[in-house]
Chains A and B, each alone.
Chain A
């Protein structure tokens, strides 16, 4: 929370002026009962009509000043609140973008989206309310008491007793019910969960004839919720009557004391009226304050959640981008220092050197001791069962995750020695989940390379086997793509994500199961086109289909995070048991023979 206050600093002027003007407004409000007392004692007492009119003018004037002060305060507080939330959102967006995959995995994107939207909004209204009301209400409460003292000390003592009593009741009930409201919320969540579950699982529930049981379970949850609500309701139902009693009993006592004091001649009749008025002002403000505290508690909770996002530091340090020559020297030095014995045959593009990976919070390694070399221009197939670590492996090449042991080297340099952009611009990756962004086809393609020309884009699209359908689209490269690309079919989306990676002419291309929605023929044509591309592109293909990788220069077979085999198709089919199993599960022996 404290760190978030930094953002208020830029609005120091506003954060001071807003409450100040609010207090001014409150001060003028506190004068009103005194003016009234004067009207009663001087005006009515002496039968002085012109005095009454003058005092009426004073009342209007107080109102005008109050209005001006209050509007000024509203402006400053709105400015500070909006300013803070704007800066906060910017900082949060930038911060989240700087997090590495590990932190994204732990946080979850859904959480981050809520932090950026509803949480920041809550903070905004919290700041706004605090600046406007947090000082005003206590000020009026205590101001009323002080004013009472100026009228009569003995009568004012009633205030001294009443205010704490009221506070105890109002805040006590609030403290009591707040945790209970949390329980109510939990109950509501469970009712919501049950409803959602019965919609998503309608088929299964009906297939197993579970409707009646589900209804009973729901009714139970629902009635538990109602019970909880009623219980909390009973407690909060006390607030109004109890405060009513306190404030009015205090008024009764005040009237009696007033009667005694007037009889003694210490105070006047008008002053009694003023005292009664102060008493009722207190009640109104205390209720406002209680509501305010609820808003503040919510805003604080949101602020803390936002703060916790800021506290997550990226677990990855990136080198500043180094110049070509410096990089060369650096890497040479690096090679000299860390592994002087290592022999590095020319043309080694990607090297995994005893690489292990353990995900944050995981109990066991997801990749264990991976060791292989890939030459420039080679095509590498990676195959293995679900959860065998295929995606983890390729994610280490662009350094989405850091090796927990061992080294990943590209062109002889540890990936940790590269600047982020330098490394990632070298690599084109097609993730498993085919996502496009709102905009035109061209804009999406330019993700791979800023300012890519239409010719370059068309070439990439053609290689990705997407030319045919892009040409049929209205506007072709200007055709609109909806959020996540949902106006395209799965196969079209996949081909465009492949094209996007190709536009930048990467030196290393990673296809992470990116052809799963393509039929076998298109898949084959795609691989053919990629092979025919100019330049010595090194290609990694992750797939579950044996046919997609069987012609690769090297096939890495993964099994439970370990390399079960490496080699070309024929070799593996000969001696790698896991590969045989996978292959024959897709091509039963008799078919292959025939």
Chain B
């Protein structure tokens, strides 16, 4: 009995195996495509908001279509969530954007062209680029009912920002020739900012958030430590005194942050009803991209940015779904291979970079050969699923200062090899590359482990360079270790890295491109390195960055920044790879969505409303 059972079982097993082996070759019939919505990169915006006076109060009137009140929007933030709600101590993007919801800044930028437009302040004027007069709105209030006046602005600048409390990045940026700007009150609703020289990024720098003096003043007197702890994530929601369109309702660590509508906000719609439309904004704190996608799929969140291969499945379903996909164009981030050109020695008198490698790296032809060997096309195709653009310049593709004359090039192994041979490198047996002293060309390539995208790029770069006969040891290391290498020990050869820049302000790249910058990765100096051993192109970059910020017209700045991009492209201390395209999916029930290449999707959160879909 048992034996029969076994025989039957094995016969079934064998048949299944056989069935799996026999497969008929039937060419499939071409299926008709489903309805596919086109995703264009066109941006349309309503007219800019206007200042109107109603009952003695300076309101800001939105020109977007009038919508319905009520409802909530659930968005997500990847990582650990906010670390503080204090806009002056926040150091990370999440904390800054959340405190940005609660505290309005004086000015903001136009989603269309990046020009400075009024927000908490009514307007500004300047004649010589040295004196800025800022006019505030009359009659608008903090959430506890106290008026927002020039005292608050002067206090915020003189007692917080310029006093060096909290995050000092704004203070560091407004120092011109070692001097801080002067901020003085003219009357209750007028403030004067003064600097010594015209400085073009200045107006954007002074549009920071403003703190309520009556709340913050006692804290600033207790010193820096108390200030760092103030308005932390443990503060009770009721204790916040804010100016933004939304105020904190609930914060649950590692779970969510809930904001509720400020019912006495200074923005109006065209019917003069007080904005914002939405009752609540909920940020779900999610750990990683994967979880975010699952939550979007599970209808738990309303907005999601999609990258690379994640776009296609959503694109196919878009027509029959409850979301719409927007193409925001190129990302502000840049991805590059950095080459260590550091010629110095460390405190123990040892070279940071092995002199034999220095000889290769400092050779411009060597770097050019690498540039020509990289297969950007397949990186874009395989890693970003076609949703990216090859990148050749230091400015991101959506920068208004982008040097469009730099056209780049295709992969050209032949040319790369020619360049190498002309520079004195030799090919031995087995197509291995040797320098003119007979050293095998071999070096390390690092990137941060755990980032699938960069690891995949690393594998490709390694293969591309091995096609040139180099030997590349690709080592993904832990992020912190990598940063330590770049900022402290300098013992690396090549690194695949990414940095985010501002599409509006190349001056933000000062710390990367200036030879004294803290992120001058390719030739990082310590404070003890006093000797001037800059490369010629480094000197020119220093000059460009120092002078471009003091130019006042766009054209004169553009000329200088074009030159800097050309220098970077010619000298190739960083070899740029590609820049991903940003795609965002938003549920169709939300209206007044005007995607902006510069600001993203939810920058006009006051105007967004929820309708039936």
Q: Tell me if chain B binds chain A.
A: no
**Which residues of B pack against A, CB within 8 Å?**
none
